[in-house]
Amino acid sequence: MEKLPKSMIVVGSGAIGSEFAYFYSTMGTQVTLVEFLPEILPVEDEEVSKQMGRSFKKNKIKVMTNSTVESVEGSDGNLKVNIKNKKGEIEVHECEIVLSAVGIAPNTENIGLEEVGVAAENGRVLVDDYFRTNVEGVYAIGDIIKGPALAHVASAEGICCVEKIAGMNVEPIDYTTIPGCTYTVPEVASMGLTEKAAKEAGYELKIGKFPFSASGKASAAGANEGFVKLVFDAKYGELLGAHMVGANVTEMIAELVTARKLETTGHELIKAIHPHPTMSEAIMEAAAAAYDEVIHI
């Protein structure tokens, strides 16, 4: 674009939609974010999604959940967008730009998959644990196969695939430990099961939550919005999921990926001394909260 739009409607509030909504809002565009589901960032833990909804509204982004874009009329620079709101009523919004961020699709059309017989389903190439397709000598990784469409996932898949080709003893990728990050302000980072998904899977849970409003470093930095939430299996103490919203949480999530990879328990996280003052203390504190040992809130 040659100039900054005065107004924009973003359709879809996943990581991509939310990041664009935040970016353009900070640049001065009046942004409306439209989401079909009850909360924005719908793949995140519900408490994270609600917090981000509040943060966006505070930053003057209009958030419309349980809403759908029915039609767009007009030409560039003068668009009328018909949105069905949560009451089932049609609202007409005017804007300069409509950005569709309702999902991505694998770019596998017309590259010859059919000619060589590579099996695919809904456009995604089918592979085994080491990214071998059904055709000998043909491998596939990244956004064109099943799994999270993330750069760090594709990189790990590529390394795993090539090491297997080279004859090394390789473990398949554990997709339950994949971190997801959303680069807004505040940031969002998560790994593993949400509280809802863990309950649906039949786990008895211990939940620990520590707000950044109780963090000295967060307060000193003027970034006390958000929290760390940890989900543990009550029976064995296994870390099932980690969900964070706040400043620098995309830098903090790797600790919890490592903890889950090493089958670290909640008590071990509590006893792992974290430096003070830091944002990362909130991880130790959230673990302590799950086991009724927290002393700083």
Calpha distance 290→266 (Å, rounded): 8
* Edge-to-edge strands, sheet with 187-192: 179-182, 187-192, 239-246, 227-233, 205-211
Residue 3: both structure tokens together:
């100039």
Count Cα atoms within 13 angstroms, Cβ side, for 148.
Answer: 22
Using an 8 Å Cβ cutoff, are 190 and 42 in contact? no
Q: Of the candidates 12, 32, 28, which has an alpha carbon nearest to the alpha carbon of residue 95? A: 32
Q: Which residues are CB-contacts of 281 (< 8 A; sequence separation ≥ 6)?
A: 215, 217, 274, 275
Helices (H), 75-170: 113-116, 151-165
Backbone angles phi, psi at 292, to 5 degrees: 55, 35
Calpha distance 50→32 (Å, rounded): 17
Q: Is 267 a catalytic residue?
A: no
* Coil/strand/helix, residue 133: coil
Per the residue annotation, which of 93, 243, 276, 296 is the catalytic one?
Answer: 276
Catalytic residue numbers read 276
